[in-house]
């Protein structure tokens, strides 16, 4: 959804012309696969970090437009361009996105990634404080209320207005119905898509070789369950204690244009419908065949730029999204965007989550015996939703044919696999990051645990938000946070 559109009202002709262009570009992607003209560069990492803007009272602050402008002014005056991040507005005025530059993943990559994130985060934090705001990394802001989720707080970009109109069109004007049954039960109705703005994430990108991209796609799907359990940081919404990672059902229901159950192939936000068998083309063919055009913004660009394919792909929110991008020399490439991690609790926690994902996925993808042949897709999907609901207290089916309690599985198999994978990727200095995951798992203290325990003790969402912020600015991993 990073592409801006030129208007937000569309006509029947727009839809038919866009669909024609989408078919042409999907065929062009087939050509690239058949002729082996996709980029062979791989093991390149990139990140998108979403944040909430809060005021000194811990409430949402609708100031992302001013902050983006402030950051750009300061960037022009800065001698250190590397410290100046690419920042952009998100759906709501109280959300912001910070992007990192793509980075080859070897050597001291994890330390470099942490340093880059910290440098760019501090840049934005300083600029926000000039405007009497702070940035907060958290999956769902505890102090958020339905009163904040109005059209008045929608960022004034045409793509967001268009998204709202098209979701409501596909729903025939029916309000969005949120129904999350967790520790408590939340039922809430919303007249627009602003409820999606309640969720913020840490999106992990991994550029892959075309020949093995489908293996990495399947591996990252299998790794999704342990990853979401360890990284869970969204247990509260509107004062209700729900899932450990409540972003998962909330986002799925916030852009629901059909009555599909979780994982239904027609759902716009989905875990997917199946593993890939031969190539990532299967996902793009599914996009064309199974998903109605949502944002028919027709471009007169060269079809080789794949603008329509990219925009349509951006309106299918797979939790693991395959992406066609371009190298600096214009060669199209494939990468995978893992979207399940929430923002926070800290930058070092986020890098630890990425280390776990990269190491574990490498071993699963490069295994001589394909793990997706040992764990069918339905069990992988069930693992994911169980871990989103129960976090580190889950038990899951695994590729050894057995069911395991997650702490045991982490200790006995997952962390050793992640270590093996990072070593094979020639990544040094990963031990402190995997140690963070090990301590988090052993103590049971992920971000969701800390928030729930704080709320149990104090029963105050504003205090929770402000105390969380004070802990976060230390950049100490969440398992070591005090209450």
Does residue 68 lie within any of the structural domains? Answer: yes
Secondary structure string (H, E, C) spanning 168-221:
HHHCCCCCEEEEEECCCEEEEEECCHHHHHHCCEEEEEEEECCCCHHHHHHHHH
Domain enclosing residue 95, as ranges: 12-480
Does residue 450 lie within any of the structural domains? Answer: yes
Q: Do you know the residue count of the chain? A: 483
C-beta contacts of 181-185 below 8 A and 24+ residues apart = 182/235, 182/240, 182/241, 182/242, 182/243, 182/246, 182/389, 183/241, 183/242, 184/240, 184/241, 184/242, 185/240
**Is the separation of the CB atoms in 452 and 232 below 8 Å?**
no
**317-318 vs 236-237, strand pairing mode:** unpaired
- The answer to whether residue 80 scores a pLDDT higher than 90 is no
Angle of CA points 447, 399, 216, to nearest 5° = 75
pLDDT on residue 299: 92
Does residue 276 lie within any of the structural domains? Answer: yes
Does residue 320 lie within any of the structural domains? Answer: yes
Angle of CA points 8, 322, 261, to nearest 5° = 75
**Is the separation of the CB atoms in 100 and 122 below 8 Å?**
no
Residue 303 makes CB contacts below 8 A (sequence gap 6+) with: 21, 24, 25, 28
- What's the rounded Cα separation, in Å, for the pair 11 and 118? 45
- What's the rounded Cα separation, in Å, for the pair 438 and 441? 5
**Is the separation of the CB atoms in 175 and 302 below 8 Å?**
no
- Look at residues 123, 127, 126, 128 and name the one whose alpha carbon lies nearest to residue 81: 123
User: Which tokens belong to 470?
Assistant: 């004070």
pLDDT in tens, 149-195: 999 999 998 999 999 999 998 888 999 999 999 999 999 999 999 99
pLDDT in tens, 381-437: 999 999 999 999 999 999 999 999 999 999 999 999 999 999 999 999 999 999 999
- The answer to whether residue 285 scores a pLDDT higher than 80 is yes
Does residue 2 lie within any of the structural domains? Answer: no
pLDDT on residue 263: 43
At 466, is the pLDDT very low, low, confident or very high (cuts 50, 70, 90)?
Answer: very high
pLDDT on residue 261: 39
pTM of the model: 0.95
Secondary structure string (H, E, C) spanning 16-48:
HHHHHHHHHHHHHHHHHHHHCCCCCCCCEEEEE
Q: Is 461 helix (H, G, I), strand (E, B) or coil?
A: helix
Does residue 83 lie within any of the structural domains? Answer: yes
pLDDT on residue 289: 94
The total number of structural domains in the chain stands at 1
Does residue 134 lie within any of the structural domains? Answer: yes
Tell me 79's DSSP state.
Answer: S
**Torsion sign (Cα): 54, 60, 64, 66:** negative
**Is the separation of the CB atoms in 354 and 421 below 8 Å?**
no
pLDDT in tens, 20-75: 999 999 999 999 999 999 999 999 999 999 999 999 999 999 999 999 999 988 88
Does residue 351 lie within any of the structural domains? Answer: yes
- What's the rounded Cα separation, in Å, for the pair 234 and 170? 28
CATH number of the domain bearing residue 433: 3.30.590.20
**Is the separation of the CB atoms in 356 and 227 below 8 Å?**
yes
pLDDT in tens, 111-148: 999 999 999 999 999 999 999 999 999 999 999 999 99
Quick one: residue 458, left, alpha or beta (phi over 0 = left, psi -120 to 50 = alpha)? alpha
pLDDT on residue 81: 57
pLDDT on residue 79: 62
């Amino acid at each position: 959804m990073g592409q801006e559109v030129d208007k937000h009202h569309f006509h029947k002709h727009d839809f038919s012309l866009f669909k024609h262009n989408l078919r042409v570009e999907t065929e062009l992607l087939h050509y690239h696969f058949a002729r082996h003209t996709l980029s062979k560069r791989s093991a390149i990492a990139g990140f998108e970090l979403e944040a909430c803007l809060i005021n000194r009272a811990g409430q949402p602050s609708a100031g992302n437009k001013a902050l983006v402008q402030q950051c750009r002014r300061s960037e022009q005056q800065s001698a250190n361009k590397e410290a100046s991040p690419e920042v952009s507005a998100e759906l709501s005025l109280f959300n912001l996105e910070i992007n990192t530059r793509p980075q080859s993943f070897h050597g001291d990559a994890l330390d470099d990634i942490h340093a880059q994130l910290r440098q760019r985060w501090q840049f934005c934090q300083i600029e926000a404080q000039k405007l009497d705001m702070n940035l907060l990394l958290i999956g769902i802001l505890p102090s958020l209320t339905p009163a904040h989720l109005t059209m008045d707080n929608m960022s004034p970009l045409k793509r967001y207005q268009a998204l709202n109109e098209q979701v409501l069109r596909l729903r025939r004007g029916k309000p969005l119905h949120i129904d999350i049954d967790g520790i408590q039960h939340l039922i809430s109705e919303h007249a627009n898509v602003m409820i999606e703005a309640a969720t913020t994430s840490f999106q992990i990108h991994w550029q892959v070789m075309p020949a093995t991209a489908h293996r990495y796609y399947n591996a990252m799907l299998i790794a999704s369950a342990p990853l979401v359990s360890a990284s869970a940081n969204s247990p509260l919404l509107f004062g209700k204690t729900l899932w450990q990672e409540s972003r998962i059902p909330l986002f799925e229901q916030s852009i629901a244009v059909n009555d599909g159950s979780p994982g239904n192939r027609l759902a716009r936000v989905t875990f997917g419908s199946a593993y890939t068998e031969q190539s990532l083309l299967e996902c793009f063919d599914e996009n064309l065949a199974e998903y109605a055009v949502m944002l028919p913004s027709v471009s007169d660009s060269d079809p080789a730029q794949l603008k329509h394919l990219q925009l349509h792909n951006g309106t299918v929110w797979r939790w693991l999204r395959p992406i066609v991008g371009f190298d600096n020399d214009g060669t199209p490439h494939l990468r995978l965007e893992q979207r399940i991690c929430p923002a926070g609790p800290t930058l070092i926690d986020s890098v630890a989550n990425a280390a776990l994902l990269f190491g574990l996925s490498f071993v699963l993808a490069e295994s001589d015996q394909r793990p997706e042949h040992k764990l069918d897709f339905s069990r992988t999907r069930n693992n994911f939703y169980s871990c989103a609901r129960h976090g580190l207290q889950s038990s899951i089916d695994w590729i050894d044919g057995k069911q395991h309690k997650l702490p045991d599985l982490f200790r006995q198999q997952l962390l050793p696999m992640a270590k093996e994978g990072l070593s094979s990727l020639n990544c040094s200095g990963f031990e402190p990051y995997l140690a963070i995951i090990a301590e988090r798992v052993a103590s049971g203290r992920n971000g969701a645990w800390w928030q729930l325990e704080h709320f149990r003790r104090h029963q105050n969402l504003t205090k929770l938000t402000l105390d969380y912020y004070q802990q976060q600015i230390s950049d100490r991993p969440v398992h070591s946070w005090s209450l």
